[in-house]
Chains A and B, each alone.
Chain A
Amino acid sequence: MLTAVVIGSGGTVRVELLAGGESGEEKLVKPSECLFEPESEELKNAEKIPQSECGAGPSPILPEAKEFIWGASSFIVFALLMRFVLFPRLKKGMEARYNSIREGHENADAARSSARSEVAQYEAAVTAAKAEAAKVVDAARTTLESERQAQISAANARINAKREAAQRDAEAAKAAVRGQIESAVSDVVSSAVEAATGKRPDSAAVSRAVADVMSAGVR
């Protein structure tokens, strides 16, 4: 056994490798406590020996048969289990889920396509309905306009008829009032002339004169 002696002095550290016993702290063990038996029979039979006298054992690089056998059998059992039981079961589940996800994606794509075509159909129907509505609105507007024009014309005609009738009534009333005034003025003039001359004037001439004067006045 090598012992590394680390010596620190000031700011430096020095390491020296010494043979097992040189440290002065060699541990004594029973030969049975050694990892590998001492090589000589004398040491094997001793009650206690320095630990450095234990066997060195075989080269640490050489494979040990028991480790080879246990490692090989463990791996073979594991690999066989994996090949025939564990992996197929897990893989089957993974594929089932992947298929389910793929199916879900396909269904979603189909639903999306279907929804898109329905939206297109709906938009086409909306466009057609709007065009139809525009037509109906135009027709209604035309009808309404013609009806409005007809009603306005009828109303104007009624107004004109009423205005003419009113004018006729007014003319008639005016003529009647004028006749009464002419008659009254003729009477007054005749009476005034009779009072002044003592002779009653010709009523026809008075009436004509009054009518002329009144016509001139109107003018």
Chain B
Amino acid sequence: MIALEFPPVNEVLRWKDLFPSFNKIALICVAAALIGSLIFLLAGRKDHKTAPKGVRNFAESIVEFIENGIVMQTMGRDGLGWTPFLLSTFVFIYLCNVPGVIPLLQMPATARMALPLFLSLLVWVVFIGTGFKHQGLGYLKNSLFPPGVPKALYILVTPIEFISTFLVRPFSLTVRLFANMLAGHILLVTFAVLSKALFQAEGNPALIPMGVLPLFMLIFLTAFEVLVAFLQAYIFTILAAVYIGGAAHPEH
């Protein structure tokens, strides 16, 4: 018989302050901003005339990925002005996600509600602002009364459009990022605790070799979380681009 103690969920997610009002999540957020800035600062200082390599190659690859893989696909050439914002969003979310698989840190900042909530609210404000900027008050009309729909159906469509566009979007953005990263983090904790408990099983030596199974699962999930960290950053950024592009172009 072995005793497997699951830590309380708050113990898994919340961290004591390193300084007053500055905990590990704040540290990861500040580090993400610093590392992101440092990468692009170093990339910008290199000689531009030679073929890019090292950090500049890396930074330029990210820029081209955002431009060709997100902006051009969702907003077209007109949306290239949004590249710095979307680039910042992608890089920041990725750098906040990835500490979930970095030893000692082992906590994605996006597995806490605050950061996804802020980013989603920001995207919400930005896409609504963009809608009003490009369409004026017609943005509300185009959003709530989509053209081509029979007038009788507006009784049904308008509330749905209002809820889906103005209420559900920030909520779904927040929950998608937060829940995915939280689930990944809890899975890693679970398999780590299970491995430890089995390897340290007392009284039944037959259980000790079984610790290899959750350990392999832990290794697999760690690799999977590297992919999830990228994927969630990409999904958040591309949805932000879709919302902004849709608000900027009434035909969307």
Interface residues of A (CB under 8 A from B): 1-8, 13, 15, 23, 25, 35-36, 56-58, 60-68, 70-72, 74-75, 77-79, 81-83, 86-87, 89-94, 96-97, 100
B59 to A: closest C-beta gap in Å: 6
Is B223 close to A, CB under 8 A?
Answer: no
Could you tell me the distance between the alpha carbons of A96 and B50 in the complex, rounded to whole angstroms? 11
Indicate if B23 sits at the interface (CB-CB under 8 A): yes
Choose from B3, B84, B115, B201 the contact partner of A23 (Cβ within 8 Å).
Answer: B3
Given A67-B26, A71-B29: A82 in contact with B40 (beta carbons within 8 A): yes
Q: Determine the chain B residues whose CB is within 8 A of the CB of A74 once the complex forms.
A: 26, 29-30, 32-33, 92
> What is the interface of chain A mostly: helix, strand, loop, or mixed?
helix
Instruction: Name which residue of chain A comes closest to B117, CB basis.
Output: A63
List chain B positions with a Cβ less than 8 A from chain A: 1-11, 13-14, 16-17, 21-23, 25-26, 29-30, 32-33, 36-37, 40-41, 43-44, 46, 48-49, 52, 56, 59-60, 63, 83-85, 87-89, 91-92, 96, 109, 112-115, 117-119, 122, 197-198, 201, 204, 206-207, 210
Whether A63 contacts B113 by the Cβ 8 Å rule is yes
Q: How far is the CA of A61 from the CA of B186 in the complex (A)?
A: 13
B60 near A96 with CB under 8 A, answer no
Contacts of A25 in B (CB 8 A): 3
Query: Apart from A6-B4, A36-B10, what 10 extra A-B contacts exist at CB < 8 Å?
Result: A6-B198, A6-B201, A57-B8, A61-B113, A67-B26, A74-B29, A78-B32, A79-B88, A87-B87, A92-B48
B22 and A70 contacting across the interface, CB-CB below 8 Å: yes
Given contacts A1-B7, A70-B29, are A8 and B40 in contact (CB under 8 A)?
no
One of A5, A36, A70, A96 near B30 (C-beta < 8 A): A70
The answer to whether A86 touches B1 (Cβ under 8 A) is no
Using CB atoms, name the residue of chain A closest to B109: A71
- Min distance, Cβ A154 to any Cβ of chain B, angstroms: 80
A2→B6 contact, CB < 8 A: yes
Closest to A52 in B: B8
Q: How far is the CA of A78 from the CA of B112 in the complex (A)?
A: 20
Asked if A87 and B83 make an inter-chain contact with CB atoms under 8 angstroms apart, the answer reads: yes
